[in-house]
Amino acid sequence: MNTARTRKALAFALVIGSVVSLASPNLGTAQEGAQTSGIVRSRLVRVETSRLVAILGGQATEPEHVFALPMERLLALAKDPGSGVKLEEHELRLSGRRIRIDQIASKEPSYVIVDVAGGTMQWVHPQKRSYVEWRKPPAPAKNPTPLPQLEPLEREANINGFRTRGYRLRTDSGTAWLWIAQEPQALVSVLQALAELQTLVKPTIESFEQLATLRGMQEGVVIRMQALTPKEYIVQELVSFTPKRWDTADFRVPPGWKGVPVERAGAATQGGSCQNCE
């Protein structure tokens, strides 16, 4: 199972990397070890650098000016299909150390269940009464490559109700600002386990924004990540957390449904129908 093919096949589930890593911390006054449940909402904005020129002119390649763009303006531009600003909004359910994400990269109704404690991800297809399961492989023996250092920005900001501190990450691939909160600590262990799970599924960092997010998670809770590369400008941020109690059955595969090997999921992992999930 611990193969490049398997990791590619489950790449769809790593919406978790851009959503869950931003989502899990905002849990109000939850105490360490408490079981927290609710709805987490986050969003992702992408703008090709060529389109930034139309918005900012000659300043489109300068991080300070690009990062100063208000989120409200980006959201307004996203309403115009011709603006080049693309918005994705994500919603997931959280119940203790289990997460459910509905309609993940599928043309038919489906959802993903992540069991952080058990180290499993299950992609469930109600119409087929089946699921594809991936289990965390043993950790690699070698030590992971150290991530680059963050530079303090000496700035603080209140973002969507969070008190955050700014950091900068610069590499040959781009520049990122990360707005990180240190509180609350209740789900730090969940965040760390998710980061480990993501790293084991995709041990090779494939993009600058992935590098920036993983590096920020080592410092605290990434509330907003802004990344500028030669190709595009990306903003990921946590929007809100609404407490809500869930039926535990919503976070488990119904009894009797058929498990399908990852290798048989085929094109479904790239957004097509799961033809072999019978």
Q: pLDDT by residue (tens digit) across 138-174?
A: 665 555 667 889 999 999 999 988 889 999 999 999 9
The amino acid that residue 198 corresponds to is Q
Q: Summarize the confidence of residues 96-124 as an average pLDDT.
A: 80
CA distance 158 to 30: 20
Kindly indicate the confidence band of residue 264, based on its pLDDT and cuts at 50, 70 and 90.
low
Q: Summarize the confidence of residues 56-82 as an average pLDDT.
A: 92
CA distance 188 to 150: 19
DSSP letter, residue 177: E
Q: What pLDDT score was predicted for residue 267?
A: 47
Q: Summarize the confidence of residues 208-213 as an average pLDDT.
A: 86
The amino acid that residue 119 corresponds to is G
Q: What pLDDT score was predicted for residue 198?
A: 59
Average pLDDT, the chain: 76
pTM of the entire structure? 0.73
CA dihedral angle for residue 165, residue 171, residue 175, residue 178, rounded to 10 degrees: -20
Q: Residue 88 pLDDT more than 80?
A: yes
Q: Residue 28 pLDDT more than 50?
A: no
Task: From residue 83, give the alpha-carbon distance in Å to each of 53, 75, 77, 254.
Answer: 11, 11, 6, 44
Q: What pLDDT score was predicted for residue 204?
A: 65
| Across 9-18, 140-149, 176-185, 214-223, least confident range | 9-18
Q: Are 2 and 137 in contact (CB under 8 A)?
A: yes
